[in-house]
A and B are shown apart, each in its own frame.
Chain A
């Protein structure tokens, strides 16, 4: 009975979020620029919250508290420095520059911008292809998070696969019906809702267990090493590697990167930049503290469930726990919508139109986009059923894959000497090495018992960090020894020459 009530609340909330998107779609225009970029007319609050909500994924809501529950509250520092500071600086260094360039030339995707500057549809396709490759595990992550959340909320009555299937159905329906404007508006509503409800949850749990000091004391008694900075998985190498790879990775996420083109004015970008650290703090501190406090409380987290729903079902009324899970799932849904929407524009604009059907009508392109989204989300759903790692592990892999593009983008955006060959080399080589590390990790060598394994860390440092340095070095080095080809147009990335 209770499982029905909980599931009812979750579904009702998802339906409301869906309705907001549909209304926004009705007021939207119909061109591609509106579908993908909401006509480049997003204001401060909406831009801030739509970017924020895109970060409000299963990684933040369920993966973060799970890690804090298992290893201590230091994850707040990792996410704070990564998201609140490094990402904010990249928001300016890459985001504002892209906004200036994009507004001048009407770009809608990162690949389009690269392809135009370096006169190469191949490079454009390469950037889009690499982005779609790493988007796949990140969409999977949302489905895994939803499945685990429903297991935690209903104590296992409702199986993992049905939670994952539910969110997949909503994701597809949403993207097929609404565009960026719809996504941006539900993001704003959900961002505000999640921020408030997380604080209410903290208040509720703390008053149930006897206050802040009691909660922390119980946590320290159960796990004496939780109060001290560092220890366990939290080595300096881990903190720095995670913060840097995630921040640089987030910048190249299609759904985040495309946000750099949508701001109404530079004032919107400025305000968002200054408010960002505080907003990040307001969310991460309560969410991860809840996870850490749970470690000192007499609760039982079933295998494969998320700690947050379990904690809330224990200390708050059932309807409230369901509401938080609903809110988190809705936030994950909107993150996924943004991902799928941006992914579909990478696919249609950078791959389908240039290479498959240059003469495709807008109508046909829109249908290809929708079919692509459906296929992509369904495949990710099937892959999510195999549950290849924890939420943090799967998320980290995706972030690192994207992070390898960021040094290349920085070199291209700020140095006229960058050449096409330099760009191709600095994308292909680090990606190939990283893929080898990720994919070969557990492949058994035929006819032996040995497993061929390339470690994902060297002396505690994430291999992706080294590959980011390699990517930057290749972008500069190869450009220095090669010449510009005639099709390149260096002036495309100039923001001063009007």
Chain B
């Protein structure tokens, strides 16, 4: 994939992550599973997924997104 297409893929991914953190398709549903409303389980799983996706983002596109060379040395990094 070329650069702009990869950037668009990330933007699209972030939009999806924001949009479905609230399970709109379960609106009005009051089913309780294992002691919690089903929509709350969805939210818990979704935020877990967000952490994984964010981690992948930091590994692959973090600097490219700022227009920096992705392979550049991390300046001032003491760790």
Contacts and interface: CB of A to CB of B under 8 A. Distances in A.
Interface string A273-294: 1111110110001000100000
B50 to A, nearest CB: 4
A266 B54 contact: no
A230 B23 CA distance: 11
Interface of A is mostly: helix
B4 interface: no
A53 B76 CA distance: 26
Contacts of A88: 50, 54
Interface in A92-110: 92, 96-97, 100, 103
A213 B35 contact: yes
Contacts of B39: 77, 229
Interface string B46-79: 0110110011011000110111100000101111
B37 A227 contact: yes
Given A73-B40, A89-B14, A97-B66, A281 B47 contact: yes
A89 B17 CA distance: 10
B12 interface: no
Given A265-B74, A270-B58, A281-B47, A86 B18 contact: yes
Given A264-B78, A273-B58, A211 B35 contact: yes
A229 B35 contact: no
B79 to A, nearest CB: 6
Contacts of A265: 74, 76-79
B55 A73 contact: no
B18 A81 contact: yes
Contacts of A145: none
A85 B50 contact: yes
A489 B40 CA distance: 48
B58 A274 contact: yes
Interface residues on A, range: 35 or more
A392 interface: no
Given A77-B21, A273-B58, A228 B29 contact: yes
A85 B55 contact: no
Interface in A303-350: none
Q: Choose among A85, A220, A280, A496 the residue with the greatest number of B CB atoms under 10 Å from its CB.
A: A85
Given A88-B54, A276-B51, 10 more contacts: A81-B21, A86-B18, A212-B35, A227-B30, A229-B23, A267-B79, A277-B50, A277-B51, A285-B40, A285-B44
Contact of A84 (B21, B37, B78): B21
A281 B74 CA distance: 30
B32 A216 contact: yes
15 contacts: A77-B40, A77-B43, A84-B21, A84-B47, A85-B17, A89-B18, A97-B66, A213-B34, A216-B35, A227-B31, A229-B26, A229-B27, A265-B74, A265-B77, A271-B58
A270 B62 contact: yes
B21 A227 contact: no
A43 interface: yes
Contacts of B48: 277-278, 281
A285 B42 CA distance: 13
